[in-house]
Amino acid sequence: MRTRPLKVALLGCGVVGSEVARIMTTHASDLAARIGAPVELAGVAVRRPSKVREGIDPALITTDATALVKRGDIDVVIEVIGGIEPARTLITSAFEHGASVVSANKALLAEDGATLYAAAEEHGKDLYFEAAVAGAIPLIRPLRESLAGDKVNRVLGIVNGTTNFILDKMDSSGAGYSEALDEATALGYAEADPTADVEGFDAAAKAAILAGIAFHTRVRLDDVYREGLTDVSAADIASAKRMGCTVKLLAICERAADGKSVTARVHPAMIPLSHPLASVREAYNAVFVEAEAAGQLMFYGPGAGGSPTASAVLGDLVAVCRNRLAESTGPGESAYTQLPVSPMGDVVTRYHISLDVADKPGVLAQVATVFAEHGVSIDTVRQQGRQDGNGEASLVVVTHRAPDAALSGTVEALRKLDTVRGVASIMRVEGE
Ligand code: NDP
Ligand code: HSE
């Protein structure tokens, strides 16, 4: 074993970074044996230097991350600050100054992964980011390496722990939305700005990363259709239950049937209780990968939190250090297919639409006509008169598979009917 240590700069020492530092210290001899050389924490960049950080030598703490990545003696930079800047500049600077990089930063990878990959390649260094998608679950490496000889057609799953935690609490214990979000934040699952979780940005960033790797093309955050869970009501959850379903925030990346384009989307969806994703509880994540030769694979595990995420970071650290000692690098960007990303209107799926309608003869026929005129076939209809005496009824329509554009046209036309007082909710139905 080499006795000279590999030097690691840790950028960020919050929920994830503090666990990375702890495991690096407590498992130092095992890591050294697995890598073939000791790894030494050479500096820790933070924003608030006076904060007490248990187990970390105060002499290592700095607020000057820029100087730390430029030191020249650093072998690996671990970036767990988050956000776009200064993370992007720090990572590119790390490559320029000879270090490889491990990052958990899905927001940056989805926003500008191309710049990071290009800088890594230009300087012959590694860029690893297993922790950026689905916490502890090995998913990036299986897609980048194990399935590199297969053709992936679909990736579908729950990739955000915070929103799964919230939906699970609302569904199982009737907890309120804010109460469940506060609990997820206290447990270290939520992003620094939890809007990223609840508005679906975090899951959309992960979908962009997964689609890019799975389909060997370049997919950015802006290419991903996104709806968060802020519009999901207790009534939607109750309605899903009546249908034998539950509501989950899903990320779905698909290759078109003709193979000429891909789609990537994140939105709440009803899934049957019999589907394996329905039983994914709390902050766990689960992802199905469908590949031509392999068939269907399922990846499941803790999707957020300091310790699970640190596990993925440390796995990357070991891999990058091994490459370093072997004077080699792991896989870089693979975007040779250059497949375009189609708009949401091209996606074909099923829908659950809840309408408030006038409770009088002929309304059902009127509504059914609008669906037929837009080529959207109805599977089931449930009408329930209300007891509030205002002459309204609730009408729940579940459709067969139809293009999203056709459904949007249907809803627009329904809103114009005098007898439709309101569209209470529209939710896609997946996993059947
Ligand atoms: P935290 O907010 O807990 O930690 C961020 C850390 O970065 C803090 O230590 C902070 O310093 C430091 N920091 C912020 N700005 C700067 C700066 N300009 N210079 C130096 N240090 C800075 O975030 P998390 O640990 O939760 O997340 C880190 C990354 O990991 C993000 O990209 C996130 O998306 C990703 N991630 C998080 C997961 C989770 O479950 N939490 C799971 C998977 C990925 P200080 O301590 O002084 O405030
Ligand atoms: N905020 C993220 C989540 C962290 O809840 O999934 C893990 O990426």
pLDDT tens-digit profile of 175-210?
A: 889 999 999 999 999 999 999 999 999 999 999 999
> Hey, what are 87's tokens?
């993370």
> Hey, what are 197's tokens?
């979780």
Mean pLDDT value across residues 311-327: 98
Paired strand residues for 270: 247, 429
Percent of all residues in the chain with a pLDDT value above 70, rounded to a whole number: 99
* Plot region of 415 (φ>0 → left; ψ -120 to 50 → alpha; else → beta): alpha
Q: Are 277 and 286 in contact (CB under 8 A)?
A: yes
| Domains with residue ranges and CATH for the chain | 6-135+306-326 (3.40.50.720), 140-302 (3.30.360.10), 345-429 (3.30.70.260)
Task: Give whole-number Cα distances, 319 to 34, 61, 367, 431, in Å.
Answer: 10, 25, 58, 35
| Nearest residue (CA) to ligand 1, atom 6 | 12
Task: State the chain's mean pLDDT as an integer.
Answer: 96
With both helix axes pointing from N to C terminus, report the angle between 28-35 and 306-325 in degrees, rounded to the nearest 10: 40
In sequence order, the 6+-apart residues with CB closer than 8 A to the CB of 350 are 379, 398, 399, 400, 401, 402, 428, 429, 430, 432
Q: Are 241 and 398 in contact (CB under 8 A)?
A: no
Q: Above 90 in pLDDT, residue 26?
A: yes
Mean pLDDT value across residues 310-333: 98
- Residue indicated by tokens 């776009």: 84
Pocket test for ligand 1, best of 16, 103, 162, 311 (most atoms within 8 A of CB): 16
Q: Are 308 and 135 in contact (CB under 8 A)?
A: yes
Q: What is the pLDDT of residue 175?
A: 86
Q: Is 206 a catalytic residue?
A: yes
| Residue ranges in 187-305 assigned as alpha helix (H) | 195-198, 201-215, 234-242
* Nearest ligand atom owner, CA of 161: 2
| Nearest residue (CA) to ligand 1, atom 17 | 47
Which of these is catalytic: 106, 125, 169, 206? 206
pLDDT tens digits along 290-308? 999 999 999 999 999 999 9
User: What is the Cα 145 distance to its own chain's centre?
Assistant: 20
- What are the φ and ψ backbone dihedral angles of 307, each rounded to 5 degrees? -70, -50
Q: Are 259 and 229 in contact (CB under 8 A)?
A: no
Q: Above 70 in pLDDT, residue 61?
A: yes
Q: What is the DSSP string of 114-130?
A: HHHHHHHHHTT--EE-G
pLDDT tens digits along 251-286? 999 999 999 999 999 999 999 999 999 999 999 999
| Nearest residue (CA) to ligand 1, atom 37 | 16
Higher pLDDT, 2 or 26: 26
Mean pLDDT value across residues 148-173: 96
Q: If DSSP codes are grouped into helix, strand and coil, which group holds residue 251?
A: strand
* Plot region of 83 (φ>0 → left; ψ -120 to 50 → alpha; else → beta): left
pLDDT tens digits along 115-131? 999 999 999 999 999 99
